[in-house]
Amino acid sequence: MTLSKMRELRHASVRRVIGVLAPLAPLAMAAACAPAVPDDKIFTLTWGKLGIGYESFVGTRNDCVMAASVVTRDASGRENPMPAVSASRFKSCMRARGWEPVAGGYSAPLGYDVRIVD
């Protein structure tokens, strides 16, 4: 086999790989750049602890938001300015402090925006 024939086969192989991978590139880029999807259940969960008032709930919730905070970065590697909270860490923190999700319990104060990540 000649050198030119080997180059031709290699280029054909590369073109085939590119042909297969090129349609997938926009999907991969969209997934990598997509913002964290909020866990709506976190925002709709209401929490209860027998005999404890709303101020205590807000304090505990704020402590758990801080404890569950994670650094996230955008596609260029810069830190995102809006806080991000690990849903699983937040729930674990609230439960460790004696709070349980209950119907009709306390919910987050209005306007307290955080991004939820797993």
pLDDT profile of the chain (118 residues), mean per 10: 67 58 50 47 77 93 91 83 85 95 87 75
* pLDDT at 117 (0 to 100): 81
* pLDDT at 113 (0 to 100): 66
Do 21 and 44 belong together in one domain? no
Length of the chain: 118
* pLDDT at 78 (0 to 100): 87
Q: How many domains does the chain have?
A: 2
Do 49 and 85 belong together in one domain? yes
* pLDDT at 81 (0 to 100): 75
* pLDDT at 48 (0 to 100): 94
Domain of 26, in residue numbers: 1-34
Do 49 and 25 belong together in one domain? no
Do 43 and 30 belong together in one domain? no
Q: Is there a contact between 104 and 46 (Cβ–Cβ < 8 Å)?
A: yes
pTM, rounded to two decimals: 0.58
Q: How far apart are CA 113 and CA 98, in angstroms?
A: 24
Do 25 and 48 belong together in one domain? no
* pLDDT at 34 (0 to 100): 44
Do 48 and 29 belong together in one domain? no
CA 43 to chain centre: 14
Side chain identity at residue 96, one-letter code: A
User: Helix 54-67 vs helix 87-96: angle between axes, to the nearest 10 degrees?
Assistant: 140
Give φ, ψ of 27 to 5 degrees. Answer: -65, -45
Do 23 and 47 belong together in one domain? no
Do 57 and 112 belong together in one domain? yes
Do 26 and 66 belong together in one domain? no
